[in-house]
Amino acid sequence: MEPLKRALHLPHVVKFPWHQSCSKAYLLQLPIELIHLINSFLTPVDLALLSLTCRSLRIILKDYTNTAQLSHDERGSYLYYRARALPKVWACWDCKKFHPILKYDVPACFNERSSCRIACQRGEGRMWADGMDNRNFNNQIRFSHRHIQLALKYTRLQQRKYNSYLQALLAPHHNLWFGGSREIPLKTHYSVYPKLVAGHDGNLRFMTLSTWRYYTEGRDISYWEIGYQQICPHLHMNVHGLQFGRHGPWVILENAFLRTLKGRGDGTGSCGRCGMDFRARLGPSYLEFHVWQDFGPEGPPINYGHFSWPAYSEMKKMDCDHPETPHEPGTIRKLYELEAPEEEHRLSITAFPRISSMRRAWRNWNPTLDIWKAYQECEEWWEAQQEKRWERRRQRNAPPLQESGGEW
């Protein structure tokens, strides 16, 4: 009968690891008064997480084991830190629950829904907004908080089982139109390149390089032909707003754009309310905007939502009167273009599966390859593909040849 009782008790021990005692821990060898003194410097979230370590700490911290006493934001942070070691789930900040991952839930599939159904319960307006880009409000690519956190978590855990999903989360995205560019008389091209970069504090950060390109086709481009362009939730150009005068922070982008059109060099700047640097450049046959954005390291959105997660209503801060959180202009771009250290190179190589069609390319891949050189090569390839598409379109729309002398 005694072995049967032990067998019935075994699942209970596995499910609740805090029942296991850790008598060799140095913390438990301290006096109980000193342990409580240390706990006085910790937050309720830290105490709730610390109580999960072992049975002894759970007994000592019995007043903090009930997570129902946590506030709304504290419970979200608690669930997020619990999910750091759980690769199969992600912590939802809206409903404060764990949700399973879905392999098709990637930034490029903006029309797909996540495993959280709270968006469907808020009406069609919420569902429409959930499919929009939470930075630029275009139906292009949607970087949600879960996408950034899953990419950072899988890179840290280095589990080969999730390499394909990690590759999809960090895949570049290209499109031949963006926003209202279908209505303007210019050919356009949009690209975004996600990248994980080691910050100055040693933590990996999720960053992106986005480009908006307008092809001039041998003619002078004007403000009226572009019409509207938004590069972050706070900076945009709107030709229809010229009649009201140029006021507000968005004049930074307009001034840089006008400086570029007048041939005074590249127009550069940054947003004082989010981690973003931009550059406007006029090429021989195109005008393009480069935007470098920093989405921050691992962590709940409340820690750095002032610039990273404008998708949440309480963190949008679209008003221009909000206090600025400035950064030194150009630092975001420099951080994105920094060469990765050896440890990051190793993570990058092991993070992606070597599928059969790309096996030879991955063997010859140089980890020290300059990211800007790779970006330019990709841009040239897309430009050539676009020219081929336009040439085929012109051939289809060309008038038929006329008969002359019995010959075509």
pLDDT confidence of residue 325: 60
Q: How confident is the model at residue 241 (pLDDT cuts 50, 70, 90)?
A: low
Do residues 145 and 90 share a domain? Answer: yes
Do residues 167 and 292 share a domain? Answer: yes
Do residues 66 and 166 share a domain? Answer: no
Model confidence at 291: pLDDT above 90: yes
Q: Is 23 exposed, middle or buried (0-12, 13-18, 19+ CB in 10 A)?
A: exposed
pLDDT tens, position by position, 225-235? 777 788 887 88
Do residues 50 and 98 share a domain? Answer: no
Contact status, residue 201 vs residue 213, Cβ threshold 8 Å: no
The verdict on residue 75 lying in a domain is: no
Per-residue H/E/C for the chain:
CHHHHHHHHHHHHHHCHHHCCCCCCCHHHCCHHHHHHHHCCCCHHHHHHHCCCCHHHHHHCHHHCCHHHCCHHHHHHHHHHHHCCCCCEEEECCCCEEEECCCCCCCCCCCCCCCCCCCHHHCHHHHHHHCCCCCCCCCCCCCCHHHHHHHHHHHHHCCHHHHHHHHHHCCCEEECCCCCHHHCCCEEEEEEEEEEEECCCCCEEEEEEEEEEEECCCCCCCHHHHCEEECCCCCEEEHHHHHHCCCCCCHHHHHHHHHHHCCCCCEEEEECCCCEEEEEEECCCEEEEEEEEECCCCCCHHHHCCCCCCCCHHHCCCCCCCCCCCCCCCHHHHHHHCCCCHHHHHHHHHHCCCCHHHHHHHHCCCCCCCHHHHHHHHHHHHHHHHHHHHHHHHHHHCCCCCCECCEC
Q: How confident is the model at residue 378 (pLDDT cuts 50, 70, 90)?
A: low
pLDDT confidence of residue 132: 42
Model confidence at 347: pLDDT above 50: no
Do residues 86 and 65 share a domain? Answer: no
Average pLDDT over residues 109-132: 52
Do residues 26 and 110 share a domain? Answer: no
12 vs 197, more confident:
197
Q: How confident is the model at residue 240 (pLDDT cuts 50, 70, 90)?
A: low
Q: How confident is the model at residue 22 (pLDDT cuts 50, 70, 90)?
A: low
pLDDT confidence of residue 96: 86
Contact status, residue 240 vs residue 226, Cβ threshold 8 Å: no
Model confidence at 151: pLDDT above 90: yes
| Range with the poorest average pLDDT among 101-105, 143-147, 246-250, 280-284 | 246-250
Do residues 201 and 167 share a domain? Answer: yes
Q: Is 216 exposed, middle or buried (0-12, 13-18, 19+ CB in 10 A)?
A: middle
- Which residues lie across from 194 on neighbouring strands? 208
142 vs 334, more confident:
334
pLDDT confidence of residue 263: 76
The domain spanning residue 44 has which CATH number? 1.20.1280.50
Do residues 65 and 92 share a domain? Answer: no
Beta-carbon contacts of 285 under 8 Å, excluding residues fewer than 6 positions away, are 215, 216, 217, 218
Q: How confident is the model at residue 256 (pLDDT cuts 50, 70, 90)?
A: confident
Do residues 8 and 37 share a domain? Answer: yes
pLDDT tens, position by position, 364-375? 333 333 444 454
pLDDT confidence of residue 403: 43
pLDDT tens, position by position, 55-100? 888 888 888 788 878 888 888 889 999 999 899 999 988 888 899 9
The verdict on residue 382 lying in a domain is: no
- Domain end marker among 70, 90, 110: 70
Average pLDDT over residues 376-388: 66
Q: Which domain holds residue 291?
A: 81-354
CA nearest neighbour of 289 among 276, 298, 272, 300: 276
The verdict on residue 301 lying in a domain is: yes
Average pLDDT over residues 385-390: 72
pLDDT confidence of residue 129: 41
278 vs 404, more confident:
278
Number of domains within the chain: 2
Backbone angles phi, psi at 147, to 5 degrees: -65, -45
